[in-house]
Amino acid sequence: MNAADGAPGRITHQPVEYAMVLAIAGALNKSLAQILLDEVQAAVVARPQVVMQLAEVESADSAGLGALIRGLKLARDAGGDLILAQPSLPVAELIDQTGLDTVFRIFNDTTTAIQAIAPASNQWGTRSAA
């Protein structure tokens, strides 16, 4: 399926304790790219750790992939990271074909992605002062 065939894209956001989960649905294409970058920019101000949930992305084009890459740079410039969770089959294939699987950390489920992006002190529970 190409980007022109996909449903209009939309983004929802869900803050968690130390990260922002941005869930994309529909087509991740040129029309959604700037909106996505605006969302990432706003997210990293408060929470530089971003999980991009991609399970409902029907299609993506080069502008959409470019927005993910620029979002990763925004997050890293803010001292955080942007990781991908649950890429749909079309997105997973595109990420693999373009070699972006060597650029992004990618997880099969959102819960694992959130745990992976947690600060070291939160990965195994809260540490107490001695």
- CA distances from residue 74 to 2, 9, 69, 88 in whole angstroms, order as listed: 27, 21, 9, 23
Residue 51 has pLDDT above 50, yes or no: yes
What is the overall mean pLDDT for the chain? 88
Burial class (CB in 10 A: 0-12, 13-18, 19+), 6: buried
Residue 2 has pLDDT above 70, yes or no: no
Q: Give residue 23's identity as a one-letter amino acid code.
A: A
pLDDT 10s digits, 70-99: 999 999 999 999 999 999 999 999 999 999
Residue 115 has pLDDT above 60, yes or no: yes
Q: pTM for the whole thing?
A: 0.85
Handedness of CA 24, 118, 114, 95 (dihedral sign): positive
Residue 7 is predicted with a pLDDT of: 60
Domains, the chain: 3-118 (3.30.750.24)
When mean pLDDT is compared across 12-21, 56-65, 112-121, the lowest value belongs to: 112-121
